[in-house]
A and B are shown apart, each in its own frame.
Chain A
Amino acid sequence: TSIFKMQALDIGTLVCITETLESIVCRCFGPNGGQVLFTKATGEILIVRDGKRILESLLLDHPVARMIVECVSAHCSVTGDGAKSFILLLSALLRGFQAVAYKGGGDVAYQSKNQILKQFSYSLLTFHAEVLDQLITQQLNRHFLSVFSINCRQPNPCSDKMESVLDAFFCGKIGDLHRQLFSRMAYSFFNKCVLSWQKKNETLKLICDHFLELHTSVRGLPVACSNVLQGLVLHRDFTVYCPADGNIRIVVVTEAIQPALSSSGSAFVVDSDSQLQASKAWATKRVEEVMTVLHKNKVKLLLSSIKQSDAVIYYAKLMGISLVECLTTEEIFFFCYLTGISPLASSWDVLHMQITDMATATLCKPLLLGPNRYVHLYLSPKWGFKPHCLLFCGPVQGLIEQYVAAFHSAFKMLNQLFGTINSCPGQDGHKVTDKEEWRKKPAADKPRAENSIVVQDQVDKGIMEDSHGPPKILMMNKRLKSSSMPITEKRSTATLTQQQFTSLGSMCQKNSAPDIVVKETCEVLVETLQNSGCGNGGREVEGAMAMSGQQFSSIGYCKEDSHFDVLVETSQGPIQYHSQLLIQEGSVLPAGGAFEFLLHFCLQNYVQQCQNREMKRLCQIVADALLTIPKNISSKKASRHFLQVYTQVMNSLKAYGQLTVPDDCLESVSCKYHLLASVFHCVIKLVVIDSVIGVKRIQNTREEDSEDCLQEEI
């Protein structure tokens, strides 16, 4: 049996909930905020200043509060920053909405109040698409600074501007004490890892995905000892260490080298004593064979993901091969990814291994960090990444974790900084009638060879029969069959995209059926677009195509400086999607609320010109809500500090059209834009909820209550 408990949810409750969250979060906001100490029931201590961590560790009861925290986590996992600003903006917007709802007076019926709010929230979407984007391209763009130097069009950013961006970021995440150390460390790490500045986005993506394997923590040393190390650190000690000079060949194994007498599911039958002796002797002999083969191939280091038997250790020592055991699967995977080899599964594989199964390191030695000894390898650059790793020191483990999380978020933020943001691509009214017309465009407009990808589906309609929507084409890697490493398919498509796509394109154009087929073309397109810095454009195109439900047969795209075009060939003819560049890569503004002040000013001006009454009210609410962020930053300094700064900035904008904010740190604009978009989406999601239904389930066998809450949207 279930018991329902229904609770109406109105804007007042929403405001209450967000204000509670705001009161917790605003203590840590800004450069002068404090820290929060969080203890787990296991006794672990965490010191956090990161908004996302604080919110997640509160373990809230109310389902709406949990929903808000989920939105915040989703936002932070992409941009790496802005959890506290999210809550502040959210609560200010909801307060504005509450004022609108109650303006009608107490006698306005509850239902119509909700209706008003719902209409209002839907107009947020229009606001975002029309007003905000327009304002940014027309008015805010002038004030944006760039991390790249203005005069020369070099692909690498200025180091001092980058450091001030990281300074502002770490000030909010870590506090004033160590931020200079960490911003310098982060920038030098980034500098050392990037192989070529043209491909910095790829390097950033690799760093963000694999950050956990790229860092080591040492307890008991002061924080000032943190620095950047060259090469890769594996977090285990050598079981056998034989010093070797020069280039060192490395082989990775994932299973036991010594064959076991029996495996699970089978039985080993012992007929006589001599049989047992012979079997054991054979097993040991086998290990000797394997190690001799390794020795002959001049392999000096063996990495194993499991514990090997004593005989393996013994023969490794005899042959002068160093051995590292019990490495985690993530480390093994990352190592194989960095070096391009695949691990060998069994001793049979080792006996028949080829040169491609061996990685090379230029140096291999034990590294003593605190009380632990680790393996330190110098590897050669791959995937646009020169292997370097980070060393974090601190008095307590909880503090080190805070730094690690802050660094990880810093690189996510840099990823956003170096991406461009485009307006939502709308379909061009002009339908290109045939491909020939598109091809007839002047050469400058045509897609350049290195940027364009043409994909056609060919083979095997049989696979496509049960799929709906755009046809998915399957790509299989010949190499994937033979190795047993669990490479996720997404990775394999990523590896193939860069290398084999151009050859695939040419093959398709010759109209020959390829024996390799591409899976989930949309994902591939999205990834290529993201890697070349088109930001969210790829997803928008994919979304638009999925919504229209059209089948396509080929895609080409062309990226220019201010816009990019995607040409999709469908069954009804080619369609061109056009997307305008909103925010260029590397755009920054001074920190301390410059973006908020600027947008506030532009919105005030827009409100005066606007005709639509509802849009006018909405713009006014957004403009007022934006001011909470600079208010909270200034509240820690002095009581009237905010008003002084506000009048100063507004006056200078009105008079000279110049933005002067008393702060020299910089902040990424694309993160701010994403924050606004996420907050708008969250507001819409919250306002639309009508009531909360709690379900209590009573079971007959055990008297346990489990409480689930459902939300009903009307």
Chain B
Amino acid sequence: MSRVEHKKPSLCSSAPLSNTAVSRALVSFHGIVKSCYGPTGRLKQIHNGMGGHICTTSQSSALLGSMTFTHPVLKLLIVSVLNHTSRFSDCGLFAAILCCSLIDNLQRTSIPSSLAIKVSKHLSTLCTEYLNSEDCGCRIPVDFSSSKTLFSLVRTVLASKPACMLTKKEADHISSVVLKAFLLTIPNEVGTHVFLGKNIIIPVEGQRVMDSTVLPGILVDAPGFHSGKAADRNKLHQGCIKLALFSVSLSGNLTDVGDGTLVVRLGVSLEAAVLEQLLLMGEQLVSNQVDLLVCQKVVHPSLRQYLKERHVMIVDRIGAALMESLINMTGAHPIGSFQTPIPSSCYGTLKDLRTVRFGSKQLLHLIPVDAAVCSTVLCNRNETTLNELKLVCQTAKHVLQLTLKEPLALLGGGCTETHLASFIRHKTHCNNITDNTLTALNCSWLEYRIIADCFCVSLESIAHSLEHDGGETLMDTVHGHCWSVKPDTPLSSGWKDVVCKCGCGMYNQQQNFCWTVLGSKHVSFRPKPWQEGTVVNFTEQLALDSFTAKLNALQVAVEVASLILELNYVIQDQN
């Protein structure tokens, strides 16, 4: 009987953003994400006061996932950033920083929030249209005939996570491993149904980073594997191993008896009965000349012994995760029952079978005839760096997949943000606004300028937060790229002598540019797009970001900021 509980009434509070507790929480959160951003970002260590798992990271998914937040406004922000990263894997910190700066800046103005939200949505649409247009100055088409841009993409993702502790050489090596793995997952033939293959990541702790490698096929943990007698080695090298794949448990347990009771007479052994059927099935396998039996679950030891004597290799307990890849790789049908004879169409083929060793781990390498499945072995010195490296490689893989769908990349290193900011400033200059825009938004020119200013300041603050060592951030007035200056530079020299390279690496100090400090007042200009002739470093490595991920992050950040600014009332259920 359910008890009718007396429910406590809810706790209500109005105008949450004017509450000091909330604004303080938002400010400290803003500080945390800003300090984690970029290749020189500071790491955060998250641990439970009672002992337990310690996490050292600067990635948004790990950071935000391990922290707990109590205030619902902050929770709203975190959940939307986490949802974005679950879809796109990258640019989570970008979204968080942009959202916090927008809320901060727009709140400080005295413009009513409904108007601020409308105008910021309009500005965000302007940005999206510009980024999607042909003459966008900060995007680069990705050429799939050469690996340079893809390599730059992966390299940027790896470089932006300092917790992996990789030297330049190691970073290059890992980038090439990730790129190779991605290319291996692309199938050779293009039929009606094309699927990208799978890339399985296997972490190994304790080895040097340079030991990481990618292998075609699947690596299976098989501690007690015996590869059979020497006589069969000839068959192995011939390159066709017949494989039977079982999805049902061969352990001899009587499963699936039904809802009722089972009454067993004296003298009847259930296990023996099932074992007899298993051995019958084993006989059939041997007569069909099967070389390898792979089972998703456990194989009965008597069956193992029987098959071992007849030179059939056994791999069991591979788990449900690897089943789909095995099916794709070998063409085998997973067999679901051992009581009936197995049709011959269910068998699959493998090209080769080897054992490989990584540190203390012994793995069985199943090499396919021709398939798009590969395994990446990632090595790093300790658990923290290894976890971080694993996450980063998964992000890089996802970024490459997104680029496959939309072959564009955005300039990294803060250049896209400053470029966009100067574009918006130019567009919202008094000469360029039409009366239609103002009447459609139902606001005055001054209000429009103020909100556009806030928007641009928020974008520029992201570029500024890449600098953690106290140096200065500059912007050039031709292309709108972001340049950083080391701290402790003498003030007497002009900017031209102090700058080295722009954030993305496209331009260096030999160009005839004028620089201004980021965030200071300057004459608004239309940022010019890049041209093949003037660009110096196009063949060298650029810092590139994923187009789809960043675009989505921009839209999500503006939407969530609008949502939070619109909140008028908070009701908390106390039950």
Residues of A that sit less than 8 Å from B by CB: 24, 27-28, 32-41, 43, 45, 47, 54, 57-61, 175-177, 219-224, 243, 258, 260-274, 276-277, 280-281, 283-285, 288, 309-315, 317-318, 370-371, 395-399, 705-707
Contacts and interface: CB of A to CB of B under 8 A. Distances in A.
A280 B277 contact: yes
Interface residues of B, number: 74
Contacts of A310: 247-248, 336-337
A183 B89 CA distance: 32
A267 B570 contact: no
Given A220-B556, A269-B265, A276-B270, 14 more contacts: A24-B12, A27-B569, A33-B568, A35-B563, A36-B569, A37-B16, A177-B566, A265-B260, A266-B261, A267-B262, A273-B269, A276-B273, A314-B247, A397-B79
Interface stretch (B68-76, B225-233, B463-471, B483-491): B68-76
Contacts of A262: 257-262
B566 A260 contact: no
B283 to A, nearest CB: 15
29 contacts: A24-B12, A27-B569, A35-B566, A39-B571, A47-B76, A57-B573, A58-B9, A59-B573, A177-B562, A220-B84, A220-B556, A221-B87, A222-B552, A261-B258, A267-B260, A273-B269, A276-B268, A276-B273, A285-B340, A288-B340, A309-B256, A313-B334, A314-B247, A314-B335, A317-B334, A318-B343, A395-B79, A395-B83, A706-B4
Contacts of A34: 113, 566-569
B555 interface: yes
A38 B337 CA distance: 51
B80 A261 contact: no
Contacts of B73: 37
A45 B256 CA distance: 41
B170 interface: no
A707 B5 CA distance: 9
A492 to B, nearest CB: 31
A239 B339 CA distance: 22
Interface centre among A58, A60, A222, A395 (most CB of B within 10 A): A395
Interface of chain B, helix or strand or loop or mixed?
Answer: mixed
B235 interface: no
Nearest to B560: A395
A260 B87 contact: no
A318 B335 CA distance: 9
B563 A58 contact: no
Contact of A284 (B4, B333, B337, B571): B337
A396 B77 CA distance: 9
Contacts of B6: 705-707
A216 to B, nearest CB: 15
Given A221-B87, A222-B556, A311-B337, A267 B263 contact: yes
B510 interface: no
B333 A318 contact: yes
A222 B559 contact: yes
Interface of B: 4, 6-10, 12, 14, 16, 72-73, 75-76, 79-80, 83-84, 86-88, 113-114, 117-118, 121, 193, 247-248, 254, 256-265, 268-270, 272-274, 276-277, 333-337, 339-340, 343, 345-346, 552, 555-556, 559-560, 562-563, 566-575
A596 B180 CA distance: 70
Nearest to A270: B264
Contacts of A264: 258-260
Contact of B573 (A40, A285, A313, A395): A40
A-B pairs with lowest CB-CB distance, top 10: A314-B336, A34-B568, A260-B258, A262-B260, A395-B80, A264-B259, A220-B87, A220-B83, A273-B273, A262-B258
B567 A270 contact: no
A28 B569 contact: yes
Given A260-B259, A273-B276, A276-B270, A36 B571 contact: yes
A32 B572 CA distance: 24
A14 to B, nearest CB: 19
Interface centre among A39, A40, A58 (most CB of B within 10 A): A39
Contact of B567 (A35, A40, A265): A35
A58 to B, nearest CB: 6
Contacts of B113: 34
Nearest to B554: A222
B114 A176 contact: yes
A281 B73 CA distance: 60
A54 to B, nearest CB: 7
Contacts of B268: 270-273, 276
A395 B556 CA distance: 7
B570 A37 contact: yes
A312 B12 CA distance: 54
Given A175-B566, A268-B261, A395-B560, A45 B79 contact: yes
Contacts of B270: 270, 276
A314 B337 contact: yes
A547 B532 CA distance: 88
A59 B336 contact: no
A399 B259 contact: no
A263 B573 CA distance: 45
A268 B574 contact: no
Interface centre among A176, A224, A265 (most CB of B within 10 A): A176
Nearest to B11: A39
B10 to A, nearest CB: 5
B150 to A, nearest CB: 23
Contacts of A39: 72, 75, 570-573
Contacts of B10: 57-59
Given A224-B555, A271-B265, A280-B339, A36 B570 contact: yes
A45 B72 contact: yes
Contacts of A371: 86-87
A399 B272 CA distance: 58
Contacts of B261: 262, 266-268
A66 to B, nearest CB: 11
Contacts of B9: 58-61
Contact of B340 (A45, A222, A281, A705): A281
A43 B68 CA distance: 11
B151 to A, nearest CB: 28
Nearest to B85: A220
A57 B272 CA distance: 61
A225 B15 CA distance: 30
Contacts of A261: 256-258, 262
A27 B14 CA distance: 10
B340 A284 contact: yes
Nearest to A219: B83
B259 A313 contact: no
A194 to B, nearest CB: 32
B373 to A, nearest CB: 18
Contacts of A397: 79
A641 to B, nearest CB: 14
B7 to A, nearest CB: 5
A261 B270 CA distance: 14
A315 B247 CA distance: 12
A191 B6 CA distance: 47
A32 B256 contact: no
Contacts of B274: 276-277, 280
A59 B7 contact: yes
Contacts of B264: 270
A56 to B, nearest CB: 11
A277 B263 contact: no
Contact of A270 (B114, B256, B265, B555): B265
A311 B336 CA distance: 5
